[in-house]
Amino acid sequence: MTATLRSGPQPREAVSARLLIVDDDPQMRAMLRQALERHGFEVHEAASGAEVLQALESARPDAIVLDKEMPGVSGFDVLELIRQHDLAVPVIVITAFGGLAVRAEALRRGATAYVEKPFRVSALVEQLLAVTETRGPRSASRG
């Protein structure tokens, strides 16, 4: 079966910002990809911490959505790798295992924002729009 990538109807003007979704759950990545592409984002994926550095080079994202809980490596460890590679890219940490202490730790380690699962996709989109619109697309200046 071949997957067809479509952007779908645009609820807003096309954003054309590049996103990297880092999550071990293929269903979560697919749901986020579909929803975010409908909002005009160009979406790239990484299924593990090991794929992140390669994805950072190939996708050159304007923002990253990062799951905190992944097998083999903590999302916080991945966040530190991202920060070593690119200090400026906004990272939004998502997790089902939250609380104030986890939120504080995510922000201390360099996350731009923190979202607890379950969440409304519209809330995530609002945060992504805020961080990508204030920065402008980096992809044009980096390629």
Is 5 a residue whose pLDDT tops 50?
A: no
Indicate the range of 6-10, 61-65, 135-139 predicted with least confidence: 6-10
pTM > 0.85: yes or no: no
98 compared with 124, residue with greater pLDDT: 124
CA dihedral sign, ordered 116, 31, 132, 106: positive
Is 137 a residue whose pLDDT tops 90?
A: no
Domains and CATH numbers, the chain: 18-136 (3.40.50.2300)
Is 33 a residue whose pLDDT tops 50?
A: yes
